[in-house]
Amino acid sequence: MTERATPEAGPQGLASRLMDSGALTSDWLPAYQAVSREKFVPDVIWPAVGRNDGGPVESIDFRADPEAWFRAVYSDTSLTTRWDDGNHTGPGRGKVPTCSSSQPSMVFSMLAALDVRPGAKVLEVGTGTGWNAALLSERVGPENVVTVEFDPESAATARARLDAAGYNPVAVVGDGSHGWSACAPYDRVLITASVREIPADIVRQTRPGGIIVSPYATEYGGEAVVRLIVQEDGSATGPFVGSSAFMRLRQQRSYRTHVREYLGGKPWPADGRRTTTTLSPEDVAPWLPMFAVGLQTQRLFPYPERYDGGSYTLWLRDTEVSSWASVDFVPGAQEFEVYQSGPRDLWGEVRAAYAWWSDQDRPGFERFGLTVNPDGTPWAWLDSPEHPVPAVVG
């Protein structure tokens, strides 16, 4: 396959772009060169390029268009390889991606944050296509790598790719949220799916001084990669190192109740109380403010219902199915109509969380950090653990 591409379009070109961006460092370059991404990508893929515009996700089949497939593999984009845990063969209404080959710049940024040295014992949660496990095997030796995958079919195909590439890490089919105690303790842990809670078993299986790198998502939304160092007392603490957008760890997926249950079967606005707001739903829509709001709120999540012409309704709901709010965005408006029902003032909670973030000069992801107590309780902080992020109580 490699003979089809120019150096700019193939592995060499991607390596140059990743090194220019700082994602791929010189110490990881030998592993990148030894482990071809193409060996860990199936024939049919769905590149993420173009998905942010709301357009359809188009597949590329190597058998039909090998050159387009090769260009996609050596672009800096994630490649979806599986939908709805294999229950569907492609995207569609309500379908969600459940396995991918992650964006290379994200892969190597997380590996750099892991600070893994040759000979270290590493646990990977989420084998996926197997590319990460192969890169780690090249770096520390396959005998020092344990990779856990919940989905049996994904695990089997990843195992076959690893075997074909000449790597034989400990590959486990199981619940990665429990780690793999048989080979613990670990020097490093890499979680390749987003979590709302850092699994306590994983913290316990990491030696003091060990590092855990994981995408961390709030209930409200937004996500960033956190780099935790495990302490002697069994806690773990560390900063967020950048934005991310990963598929959720299966054991921590959210299953939402339809809005009709909140309305009690009545048409909107049912018994909602009407007010207005000058805070636009657009202000709280980007990934960073969503993350800041999510670090402060609990059991609260949004959903935008979009209409023609750019207008939409921002729905807010609580996980207890007791309270809801709707905020109508109209382009060019200065005030926005709000309806709310239930014991919680959901829009008020979002406004308070957004106001705190704004008052702190709108800090970026890297100014936030996370501490996980020995009992597993997490709490966020700004700049240092001495400055905890306040909780908006609802």
Catalytic residue among 75, 100, 101, 102: 102
Of 83, 374, 54, nearest in space to 206 by CA: 374
Cα 319 to Cα 107, 195, 237, 344: the distances in Å are 32, 17, 27, 12
- Distance of alpha carbon 309 from alpha carbon 332, whole angstroms: 12
Known catalytic residue: 101?
Answer: no
E strands present in the chain: 44-47, 60-61, 79-83, 97-101, 122-125, 145-149, 170-173, 186-191, 206-217, 223-230, 236-243, 273-277, 300-306, 312-318, 324-329, 336-341, 368-372, 378-382
Across the beta sheet with 79-83, the strand order is: 60-61, 44-47, 79-83, 97-101
Catalytic machinery residues: 102
